[in-house]
Structure 1
Amino acid sequence: MYPNAYIEYLVYFHGPRDFFECHEVLEEHWKKDNKEERKPHWVGLIQVAVSLYHQRRNNFSGAIRMMTSALNILSKEAENLKLLGLQYEELLQRLEQRLTDMYEYKDYEEFNLPIADLDLLAYCKQKSLEIGTLWGSDSDFENGMIIHKHTLRDRSEVIEERLKQQYVKEKERKA
C-alpha cells in the first residue's frame, strides 16, 4: 500500500535515526516522477529529516531553514500525509514545536513521526528489527557515519557523474 522508499524512510528515521539515509531513499523515490508530476509532500518529509540531521549536529541555521521550508510545504499537504498513514495535525504541532526549540538553540531530542496507521507502524517495527535496530532507539552519537555522514561518505560516484554531466552540457553548448 505504501511505497517501499517511504517504508525505508520511516525505518531509518525511527530505528538507527539515520536522517541522511532518510533523505537519500526518499529523494531517489521523489525523482522517479517527471518534474511536473513530483509530489511536494516527499520534499517536505525529506526536509524534516535534513532539519533534524542539522539540529543534531548543532547547525541551527541549517536546521531552522529546512524545518521552516518543511512546514511551509507540509501545511498544504494534509490529504497526502493522511494517505501516508500520518496523524496530520499532530505532525504539524510537533514540527512547529521543534522549530521553536531550534530558534531557542535547544539540544537535539529524539523526534518521532506520529503514525496513525497501526498496521504500518507494526510493519515498520518489524522491518527495523530486520536491519538490526529497535524502533524508537536513541541516536548513537558515537557513530560518526550517522552523525556526520555527509562529510564521511564516499562521493566518488556522485563526483564522476557530475563531471560526465558537465562534459555533456559543454559539448551541447559548443554544438
Structure 2
Amino acid sequence: MIDTLVEFYYYFLHERHYFECHEIMEDAWKENSVYTKNDIEVGLILLATSQYHLRRGNKKGARTCLKKAYQILKMYSLSEIGLHDSVLYILEENMTSEEYVPLTLPLTNEMKEAIHKQHPDFSVKHAPDARWIHFHRTRDRSDVIEARLKSMRDKHPVDDTPDKRHD
C-alpha cells in the first residue's frame, strides 16, 4: 500500500489532481479481498473528492464528502498511512469552507522521504493546474462506457429484444 499512498499524496499535494487521487485509491480499495465503505481507502477517496468538488464550486458536495472522509479517517491510526493525527483538526476546520483553498496534509517524515524517493520533484504546490479542474469532462471514458454496456447486455441478452422475438 505504500506505493499507492506515495502516488496518492503526490497527486494530492504536488499536482492537485484530485480526480487521479480518487482513481488511484479506488483501484487500491477494490484490490482488497473484502471491502466496505468504512475502509481507510474510502476516507482518502472522499477527501480527494471533496477537494475536487470544492475547487469546482460544488460547496454542498464538497462538505458532504469531507464530513464522510472525516468520520472514516478518525476511526484509524493515521500514522499507518503517513499522516499526522493533526489532519483531523485540519479537516474539521475546512468543513465549512466556502472557497477552495488547497489542503496541506501533514505527512510523516517517513512518508515525505518515500515520496521524494519516487518523485524527486515533489513539493507542496498551491496553484492548481487548470487541466485538472474539470477533468471529468475531458477524460477518455470509452472503457467505462463499454463495461456498462457489457453489464447491461449480460443482464438483458440482446437476443431477447422485442424486435427479435418470433411470437
Q: After TM superposition, is the score higher than 0.5?
A: yes
User: Runs of 5+ in structure 1 lacking a partner?
Assistant: none
The runs of 5 or more residues in structure 2 that have no matched partner are 161-167
TM-score under structure 2 normalisation? 0.85
The residue aligned with 1:146 is 132
Among 116, 123, 147, which residue is 2:114 paired with? 123
SS of equivalent to 2:6 = helix
Q: Aligned equivalents of 1:7 and 1:126: distance in 2?
A: 9
Aligned to 1:26: 25
- Paired residues for 1:21-170 under 5 Å: 21-36=20-35, 40-77=39-76, 79=77, 81-88=78-85, 90-101=86-97, 105=98, 107-116=99-108, 118-129=109-120, 134-141=122-129, 143=130, 145-170=131-156
Question: CA 1:119/1:28 → structure 2, altered by over 3 Å: closer, same or farther?
Answer: same
1:36-70 Cα deviation digits (max 9, x unpaired):
57861110011001001111111101101101111
CA distance in 2 between partners of 1:135 and 1:125 (Å):
9
Q: CA RMSD in A?
A: 1.9
Residue 33 (structure 1) shift: 1.2
What's the CA shift for 1:85?
2.1
Q: What is the correspondence of 1:8-27 to structure 2 with a 5 Å cutoff?
A: 8-27=7-26
Name the TM-score, length of structure 1 as normaliser. Answer: 0.82
**Counterparts of 2:38 and 2:110, CA distance in 1:** 24
Percent sequence identity is 33
Number of corresponding residues = 158
| Higher Cα Rg, which structure | 2
